[in-house]
Amino acid sequence: DISKQLDFVQTQAETTWKGLPSLTRYPDATEPVGDDWQWHYVSAGGWTCGFYASMLWKLSEVYKNSAWSSRAASLIEGIRKIENDTGTHDVGFMVFYTFGHGYLLTQNEDYKKVTLTAAKSLSTRYNKVVGCIESWNAPKGHFYVIIDNMMNLELLWWAAANGGESVFHDMAVSHADNMIRDCIKPDGSSYHLVDYDPDTGKVISNTPQGKTGGVWARGEAWAIYGFTIAYKYTKFERYLDTAIKCANYFISHLPPDHVPYWDFFAPHNESRDSSAAAIAASGLIDLSQYVNATLSATYMNAANAMLSSLSSEAYLADPKTSPAVLLHATGSYPSNSDIDVSLSYGGYYYTEALIKLSKK
């Protein structure tokens, strides 16, 4: 029951709101306190800082409740300064999901201006020789691009179509084309990171997030969603073909309950990643609009199966002990960071997917 699940999200969002230490501290991941869970918070600039506010924009859309939109508006003010941050590719997640989503809901011209400024900042990370936006700041002689960055390209595509520079579109196209060539394997699985030589554009190495020869589940989810977004903005068939390949890989490697382990090759005593399932489900619902009827049914069935599992007692947080939405997510297993916790972005993409489903 979608309305019941969205009511649950609203309850958890309310609990989270009441627990905020200030309007400039943003829920990131949960941490245990005795038998209960509490949020660990980040400041503006932490890549996850915008997801809770974006969830509130989504709730305001569903419930037509001005309280949620005014809360979202008050939360994003602390993130405004990130419009000028040229030091990270995640300006896409941080600004497009807050000011961009806010603009789409409210048509507030100020939000649009911030979003366009952020696109300009992101464009400064483009290297013409490599043909990509730099994801992480790399040591001399290296240029790092991660699969997650496909999601941040939306800021450039949207900006180019909404009053920003047309070159933003071209940068995003070049980046996505390089990812098809260097980050997506023939079977549709993905590497996490491609390391380029910034002076020649040649690939130095492609690496997974953790397991040698493994496939990071959330990275594969970013690929499904990221290439679906690429197709939405460009209508280039190569992006649709890539999204389909990645989707088919993801779906065919899921365990029986449809929620992946953090890596598709991880032993089954290691942790799940509910956030990967939520991201993939949301991406698959979008992808289902662009494919033939058979594939569309396959992708909707898979999204429904993942959301149904995430909506079960096995994965939903208990309001008595946690302010979050989904349990059993994994931040970074190789770094031993945020293992088997709740993640703010898992909750966000779960909410987004449910809303999309409700409109079907």
Q: Yes or no: say if 311 and 358 are a contact pair by the CB < 8 Å rule.
A: no
Q: Yes or no: say if 335 and 344 are a contact pair by the CB < 8 Å rule.
A: no
Annotated catalytic residue within 28, 148, 195, 273: 148
Q: Which residues pair with 216 in a beta bridge?
A: 263
How far is C-alpha 209 from the chain's CA centre? 16
Give per-residue burial for 140-161: e unless 16+ CB within 10 Å, then b: eeebbbbbbbbbbbbbbbbbbe
Token pair of 243 as six digits: 């999204």
User: What is the maximum span of the chain, computed from C-alpha positions, in angstroms?
Assistant: 56
Residue type, 230: A
Distances (CA, A) of 239 to 10, 38, 173: 35, 40, 10
Which residues neighbour 193 within 8 Å (Cβ) at sequence distance 6 or greater?
135, 144, 145, 146, 147, 206, 207, 209
Q: Which residue in this structure is represented by tokens 């979050």?
A: 324
Where on the phi/psi map is residue 336: left (φ > 0), alpha (ψ -120 to 50), or beta?
left
Is there a catalytic annotation at residue 263?
no
Annotated catalytic residue within 1, 85, 90, 195: 90
Exposure of 180 by Cβ count < 10 A (0-12 exposed, 13-18 middle, 19+ buried)?
middle
Is there a catalytic annotation at residue 148?
yes
Distances (CA, A) of 261 to 161, 183, 217, 218, 354: 37, 21, 7, 10, 22
How many residues can be counted in the chain?
360
Question: Catalytic residue positions?
Answer: 90, 148
